[in-house]
Amino acid sequence: MCQLMRRPLCRSLPKCICQFFCKYSETKCSDPGLIQSDITWTPSMDYHLRKSSPEAYKKLRKIAKTFSRSTAVGSFIELTAQEHKANQIIMKAKKAEYSTGILDPEKFAPGYHIFQALPKINESALFKILAKMPKGGALTTHDTSMCSTEYLIQLTYRENLWVCTRKEGCKVVAFRFSKEKPTIKAYRECNWEPMEALRERRGDENVRKYLNRRFSMYPLGSFSSNNEAWRHFMHIFDLVDGLVQYAPIWGEYFYNAMKEFLADNVQYMEVRTLLPQLYCLDGTLLPVSETVQIYKDQINKFVKDHPNFIGAKLIYAPLRNVDRAGVAKYVKTCSELNEQFPDVLVGFDLVGQEDVGLPLVDFVEELVKMPTRVKFYFHAGQTNWSGSEVDANLVDAVLLGTKRIGHGYAVTKHPLIMALAKYLDICIEVCPISNQVLQLGQDIRSHPASLLYARNVPIIISSGSPSYWHAAPLSHDMYMAFLGIAPINADLKFLKRVAKNSIAYSTLSDEEKSIAFLKWKEMWNKWIDDIVKNEGSEHKESVK
């Protein structure tokens, strides 16, 4: 019999209700989300709770609310005295925004599309705190959507850059570095000219403005369907490719990405990489291993230049829209590269719109040939086609032993898979803004991850392709998750849990994790101190 049953409270309540709460509380420590249900209960049993005394009612209500809080993401986190102080300041900022929102929902950013909400978020006191938060790692990033649009525009001033346009020179569809006029075909018919010519013809400021839009999803806050959103999204990748797949740029791009992420207080990155063959000025292509080598060199260089950066790892993630033979080739490439770069290229995934490619199940026989030292980090459930073949990718990802699930937007519709994720310690990579922009859901408050939160399924917060919506590397997603997905009472414990998860569920080895954790902790403690100190000085300011 559980503690609760012995309390006088239970004697004044219907027995079955008490038993239920007891069962719930008993399983709490081992696995709070999963409830045993062998209590015999018959519908005829008189369980009118309103017969309970006002005191019993209050107590029962408190128990119910406490249980809910104690079984959510972050509930097992302990806060230090200093963290408690910082927490009060953070929660004051969060509650202020929440209360304003309840009175006037138009002022609540997570209810709106990022394109509409971004300027408002950037002014938010809570956002300013979260921007400085050491977030651990960004585990869902993609090769060419990491660096800011401003950086991409800067690249277009480099020498030897050609641009290919359509619609009488109005629409830019490709870039290419070359001594001579490129002979390579872009993904669409177009006319090559030197970048300088375009700039001269249309004016520098106009071209900057134009590219600022073309390197992102702006201003299209909605598309006729999510397929349409995906088409637009993939075209940005096409456009950026020629610019960054130039061998001398590739490394520089990634170095700058790490710089931008670290500036957003992200100390570690995992890149889902297509591993393209990089090209040289004369058009020759380098072997894929060079792409990995450049990544490796840049990581080492960046860590040397920035000792508080933990590092980065690669997950080979080619496009899923291929046949079985294509996947067989992927597996071969991945195995070989992993053998050559065992500490850098450590995982495998398939990317691109899930809805239009073949489902994972079609590739199982090829995928199981992957050496087990290469772990799986499958994108799955990034769909709203419930019960479809695509939706079943969640089942196959888990059965293939995936370590994390990219997006997993649909996972809550599959209780068994969600329970397995928790049980097998599979982490869900939640990317709120990406899901919004790619039209899975509009209002962040209805994002299914609120259930993962409530059931304490392991999650990390990530951004996907933040550059394409002009968002910070991780801060805007963290803000949306903290304010829009987690409930009002979710506090610093939640933030600490997701930051720690981003190291715990990374591809890092146990030894690497220890070092990573120490680097993160140092920055974290400083952040906590700064919050408390700033509040103190602001308080002094206002007293003066």
Residues 449-488 that bind a second copy (CB under 8 A): 450-451, 454-455, 485-488
Q: Which stretch binds a second copy (CB under 8 A): 84-92, 193-201, 313-321, 445-453?
A: 445-453
- Please identify, using beta-carbon distances, which residue of 193 and 355 lies nearer to a second copy: 355
- Smallest gap, in angstroms, from Cβ of residue 217 to a second copy? 17
- Smallest gap, in angstroms, from Cβ of residue 463 to a second copy? 20
Please report whether residue 226 would count as binding a second copy according to CB under 8 A. Answer: yes
- Please identify, using beta-carbon distances, which residue of 251 and 448 lies nearer to a second copy: 448
CA atoms within 13 A on the CB side of 51: 9
- Smallest gap, in angstroms, from Cβ of residue 494 to a second copy? 11
- Smallest gap, in angstroms, from Cβ of residue 403 to a second copy? 11
List 139, 490, 498, 503, residue binding a second copy (CB under 8 A): 490
- Smallest gap, in angstroms, from Cβ of residue 466 to a second copy? 22
List 150, 343, 362, 443, residue binding a second copy (CB under 8 A): 443
Cα separation, 430 vs 428, in Å, equals: 6
- Please identify, using beta-carbon distances, which residue of 249 and 426 lies nearer to a second copy: 426
Cα separation, 415 vs 421, in Å, equals: 10
Question: Taken in order 433, 436, 440, 445, is the CA torsion positive or negative?
Answer: positive
- Please identify, using beta-carbon distances, which residue of 195 and 438 lies nearer to a second copy: 438
Side chain identity at 49, as an amino acid letter? Answer: L
Q: Which of residues 15-74 bind a second copy (CB under 8 A)?
A: 17, 20, 24, 27, 30-31, 33-39, 41, 43, 47-51, 54, 57, 60-61, 64-65, 67-68, 71
- The H or E element spanning position 236 is helix 226-244
CB contact at 8 A, 359 and 391: no
Q: Which stretch binds a second copy (CB under 8 A): 118-126, 151-159, 185-193, 418-426?
A: 418-426
CB contact at 8 A, 154 and 258: no
- Please identify, using beta-carbon distances, which residue of 294 and 418 lies nearer to a second copy: 418
Q: Please name every residue paired with 429 in a beta bridge, in sequence order, or none if there are none.
A: 406, 460
Q: Which stretch binds a second copy (CB under 8 A): 140-148, 276-284, 384-392, 523-531?
A: 384-392
- Please identify, using beta-carbon distances, which residue of 49 and 280 lies nearer to a second copy: 49
- Provide DSSP, 89-147: HHHHHHHHHHHHHHH-GGG-GGGS-HHHHHHHHHH-HHHHHHHHS---EEEEEETTSSS
Q: Which of residues 104-143 bind a second copy (CB under 8 A)?
A: 104-106, 111
Query: Among candidates 255, 181, 242, which has minimal Cα distance to 215?
Result: 242
CA atoms within 13 A on the CB side of 294: 25
Cα separation, 82 vs 145, in Å, equals: 37
Q: Which of residues 421-440 bind a second copy (CB under 8 A)?
A: 423-425, 439-440
DSSP 181: P
CA atoms within 13 A on the CB side of 408: 36
What tokens appear for 33 in the block?
Answer: 């989300």
**The 3-state secondary structure of 331-372, one letter per residue:** HHHHHHHHHHCCCCEEEECCECCHHHCCCHHHHHHHHCCCCC
3-state secondary structure (DSSP) of residue 309: coil
Q: Which of residues 246-305 bind a second copy (CB under 8 A)?
A: none
- Please identify, using beta-carbon distances, which residue of 108 and 524 lies nearer to a second copy: 108
- Smallest gap, in angstroms, from Cβ of residue 36 to a second copy? 4
Q: CA-based angle 435:128:524, to the nearest 5? A: 90
List 370, 433, 437, 459, residue binding a second copy (CB under 8 A): 370
- Please identify, using beta-carbon distances, which residue of 27 and 534 lies nearer to a second copy: 27
List 82, 206, 225, 514, residue binding a second copy (CB under 8 A): 225
Q: Which stretch binds a second copy (CB under 8 A): 143-151, 188-196, 241-249, 417-425?
A: 417-425
CB contact at 8 A, 403 and 427: yes
- Provide DSSP, 187-235: SS--EEEEHHHHHHHH-HHHHHHHHHHHTSSTT-S--SSHHHHHHHHHH
Phi, psi values for residue 250, rounded to 5°: -50, -50
Q: Which of residues 340-369 bind a second copy (CB under 8 A)?
A: 355, 361, 364-365, 367-368
List 287, 342, 415, 536, residue binding a second copy (CB under 8 A): 415
Please report whether residue 384 would count as binding a second copy according to CB under 8 A. Answer: yes
- Smallest gap, in angstroms, from Cβ of residue 481 to a second copy? 12
List 125, 197, 328, 420, residue binding a second copy (CB under 8 A): 420
Position of tokens 């359509």? 166
Beta-carbon contacts of residue 185 (< 8 Å; ≥ 6 apart): none
Q: Which of residues 165-224 bind a second copy (CB under 8 A)?
A: 224
3-state secondary structure (DSSP) of residue 396: helix
Number of residues that bind a second copy (CB under 8 A): 93
- Please identify, using beta-carbon distances, which residue of 20 and 218 lies nearer to a second copy: 20
Please report whether residue 517 would count as binding a second copy according to CB under 8 A. Answer: no
